[in-house]
Structure 1
Amino acid sequence: MKPTAQDEITAYVFAVRAALGDLPEAVREEMLQDLTEHLTEVMADGEGSLVDRLGSPEVYAAELRNSTPFVGGFPDPPPARHKPFVGLRDQVTPSLSENLQKVREQILPPLRVADVRLGKVMGYERASDFFALLRPAWWVLRGYLVAMILAAALDDGGQPIGLLPRIGGSDAVALMLLAAAVLASIWFGRRVTRLPRWPRFGLYAGSAVLAMVALAGFFDADSTKRDSYYSDVNYDNPYSSVEDVFVYDAEGRLVTGARLFDQEGQPIHLGNAYCHDEQGTYVDAESDVYPYCPSKAPFLMPGVRPSESSEPSASKSARAKPSATPSR
């Protein structure tokens, strides 16, 4: 049975609808509502099939998709996500701004008055004009402080770095680091007003921290200088590591029970007044009598007995055996 024109039109519309299947149904139906009448007119105007005249249903659907405006309208935006902090911000921000404004109104007028009065004492219209002249000096000092902090963080030599930012004790590295830090500080200082708000505040906060570090370093150096005399004796004492003293006479014999005195007759205290035996047990020794441990003597001559220092002793008559006959 030969298909009729109506069957061809119905099949073509069905195929075009299938090619537009990804569109919403309402949009697709609105695009295809006049397609049947249009295809009927095309069939009546001449001979040949719809495919010969209009192309395949897929090609026609693509052309229809590109030439027909989006009649369904734009989809509704997704519902707004709930932001719990937005409402809190809207409530807090106005009140915070009002409070800050009140604080500024209370503080700024007295500060302006003090600025003018102090400026007259210093010979300037305002004190802030004088402090503005000190900005380059602060930029240099800020670079120096940054260099010192970097050197303290990077140096692992264990030695004091001194007044220059030395890393590994190198003066050349110290000078290069100092020059780089000072130039960078000057560069930022000349451009601070061009920075955005929050980076500018960050630079101000960092400068305040550096100022506190500088004050802490100043007080530490001052305290160290004032208390330096307490440590000079310990550093200059060459006998701080002496634990015992061994005295030898002219014949090379070890003198036991020896005592040491200075030029004013004051006892000399050296070493630690204790000794330890073979088991490692510590035994207290008589203080200021050397050596504490005679058995630890570094030099012992074969066949020579240690000599004892002269000590007050009883007289020979006292050591003699008492006579049975009373003396007259």
Structure 2
Amino acid sequence: MNLTAQDEIAVYVEGVREALAGLPAATRDELLEDLPEHLAEVLAEGGGSLYERLGPPAAYAAELSASAGFTTATPPAGERSRIAETAARHRARIDRVLRRADERAGPVLGYARASEFLALLRPAWWVLRGYLAAMAVAFMLHDHDTPLGLLPRAGDDDLAAILLLSLGILGSIWLGRRARPAGSWPRRLQRLGTGFLVIFAVVGFFEVDSAAQRDYYYTVEYTDPPPEPLSDIRDVFVYDAEGRLLVGVQLYDQHGRPIRLGDPMCDDELDSPVPIVNPGYPYCPDQAPFRAGEPSLSTAPSTGPSAGDAEQPPATPTTPAIPSPSR
């Protein structure tokens, strides 16, 4: 026979009531006061019947009894019974306060209860929970020599990180679509895992934020590049086979293009740079490195002034005829 939601709730509440028959009437009524509303919320979440989501009424009654301080449905005697009844009354009051807060916050979000809006966010939480679980696994397997990043990288393989992320999200969705664990310990482990992931998410958020602020400004160290060939040449001095300095020399490559080296400037008597009007090598003949009586560039006469010519007085500078470069 198909039962409506109200009938299913009524049958389940009656089963829990019978299982709590050994408790004092006042305690039993307080434990059952908000049970119909809670069962209605469980049914609204979907995922199966109350029996599938919460287990048998007797198991649920045992959990309620344990939450009130009773190890069994049989009430303890003396002082322990009074403490348990007081705890049950406080629990009922807390549940009423939470229910009122839920009803008052609901209209702000556009719903009768805030829990109805949060129920719509459950699939998003499943995805986020899977991501956080994958990041937690990667954090434990990471060597911490390099930043972890936003992907759950256990190493340098991005494909493995995407696979781990996919497994975490799919596993979380599968776990979320299952019925709520019937036993108390599975539910406690689930809540403990959820609390750990929430703390992990908060700590990770502040770590990423701190790293972003710390790396916003950084110092860049530049190293001087190696000197280029001929980069330190300021002037060119050309000597003939007899060791005589040539003045007004022009240099051209194999295509007739002029070769420019150095800076066509020469210092005057006040050590101030003066530009050369008709540049030709050398720019500053007075600064020639080899003069009479000084060592030559090479001992070979064919490559520079000879040692014998160094003893002769320098020849009068002449400007050899240079063919005009082809344009």
TM range, normalised to the smaller chain?
Answer: 0.3 to 0.5
TM-score calculated relative to the size of structure 2: 0.42
Larger Rg: 1 or 2?
Answer: 1
**TM-score, structure 1 length as denominator?**
0.42
Q: Which has the higher contact order (CA 8 A, sep 6+)?
A: 2
Q: Which structure's residues are more often helix, by fraction?
A: 1
